[in-house]
Amino acid sequence: MYRYIIRRLLIMIPVMIGVSAVVFFLIRSIPGDPAQILLGEHSSEEALEKIRTQLGLDKPKIIQFFYFLYNMIKGDLGRSFLTNEIVSIEIYKHFPATLELTLCSMIFGSTVGLILGVTAATHRNSIIDYITTVISVAGISMPIFWLGLIAIIIFSIKFHILPISGRLDPTITFKAKTGLIILESLIRGDFTVFKDAIYHMILPAVCLGTIPLASIARMTRSSMLEVLNQDFIRTARAKGLPTRKVIYTHALRNALIPVVTVIGLQFGSLLGGAVLTETIFAWPGIGRLSVEAINARDYPVIQGCIIFFAFIFVFINLLVDIIYAFIDPRIRYE
């Protein structure tokens, strides 16, 4: 197991270098001049050249890339063109909001998806199965930005049930050391902040969680149908075990391996794919930071956010592979 983990960690090095190269050169192909955006349309050519020199944009792109790669290896992602803030600090400030949103979305999507998938598999070709299939197809088909806007119109504007945007009401002042407002307010026993944070979380978490919900429900259903036809399930039923124990102890555990793969991939995707959700709901996470950086042609911030997402995605894939061995003892990595 340890040799496998070390080998996978070493493989991450060329993967991250390749991602860095692709990100670096693609970002610099985006139309627009960062110096022009910083100084405005009517700035002089001398001022623009001075800013380009200060930002290092006057050097050939290949030289800029090697400087960037050298600094990245040292853990330095550069400074923001716009705020002059260290990029790693910017990411550190915004990551807790994205992490909290992603965790809540995955909890919602995984829980509901597993329940729907198991229910559909145990009621095959029934009305419940058909409803689950419709929900799955709808969840995958609906764009997040459309679903988010519809949810805001219905639950926030029309019925005034849930807040439109943000993590907390503007009148509430709460400083979370970790940035995880829901967790810290619960630990501190501040239920006023906890309740308000939950209210603000519902809409973005549900909208973002529809995609993993649909994928998990479909995968759980197909995997459960395959397992329920196995001989050991028939043996368990023949022994007179309760139906609930047969389904949730014997069948579900053996059906979880492909489901865990989907959950891991979806979690990594949500961390990077929360851009639209965070923009629609004014959620102060890395997704919104990325959009603002793209609009401002803030190359270091864009690069830092994408590379950070790539690292998280690769790392989660490694965790998923390790979890396999705990779910199914037959799996060995030696």
Alpha helices in the chain (DSSP H): 2-27, 34-39, 45-55, 61-73, 87-122, 127-141, 144-151, 181-188, 191-228, 231-238, 243-245, 252-273, 275-280, 286-295, 299-327
Angle ∠(273,164,148) on CA atoms, nearest 5: 40
205 closest CA partner among 315, 112, 305, 87: 112
C-alpha count within 13 angstroms, C-beta hemisphere, residue 290: 23
Residue 205 in any domain: the answer is yes
Residue 79 in any domain: the answer is no
pLDDT score at 136? 81
Are 37 and 164 within one domain? no
Are 218 and 136 within one domain? yes
Give the separation between CA 250 and CA 234, rounded to whole angstroms: 11
pLDDT digits (tens, 9 = 90+) for 152-180: 999 989 888 999 888 888 888 888 888 88
Q: Which domain holds residue 16?
A: 2-73
Give the separation between CA 16 and CA 312, rounded to whole angstroms: 11
Residue 208 in any domain: the answer is yes
Give the separation between CA 59 and CA 76, rounded to whole angstroms: 19
Q: What phi and psi values does residue 86 have, to the nearest 5 degrees?
A: -65, 130
Handedness of CA 291, 292, 297, 298 (dihedral sign): negative
Give the separation between CA 324 and CA 262, rounded to whole angstroms: 12
Find where tokens 């955006």 sit.
Answer: 37
Q: What phi and psi values does residue 138 have, to the nearest 5 degrees?
A: -65, -40
Are 99 and 211 within one domain? yes
CB 312 within 8 A of CB 268: yes
Give the separation between CA 103 and CA 209, rounded to whole angstroms: 10
> Following DSSP, what letter does each residue of 160-199 receive, concatenated?
--S-SSSSS-TT-----SSS-HHHHHHHHT-HHHHHHHHH
163 closest CA partner among 194, 197, 206, 186: 197
Query: pLDDT below 70 — which residues of the chain?
Result: 1, 272-273, 325, 327-334
Are 50 and 173 within one domain? no
pLDDT score at 49? 82
Instruction: Provide the whole-model pTM.
Output: 0.82
Cα-Cα end-to-end distance for the chain: 6
Count the Cβ atoms, other than its own, within 10 Å of residue 54: 11
Residue 322 in any domain: the answer is yes
Instruction: Name the domain count of the chain.
Output: 2
In this structure, which amino acid lies at residue 313? F
Q: Which token pair is 191? A: 């239920």
Are 108 and 21 within one domain? no
Residue 78 in any domain: the answer is no
Domain final residue, candidates 73, 104, 123: 73
pLDDT score at 275? 82
Give the separation between CA 171 and CA 201, rounded to whole angstroms: 17
C-alpha count within 13 angstroms, C-beta hemisphere, residue 35: 16
10 Å CB burial of residue 216 (0-12, 13-18, 19+) is buried
Residue 278 in any domain: the answer is yes
CATH code at position 126: 1.10.3720.10
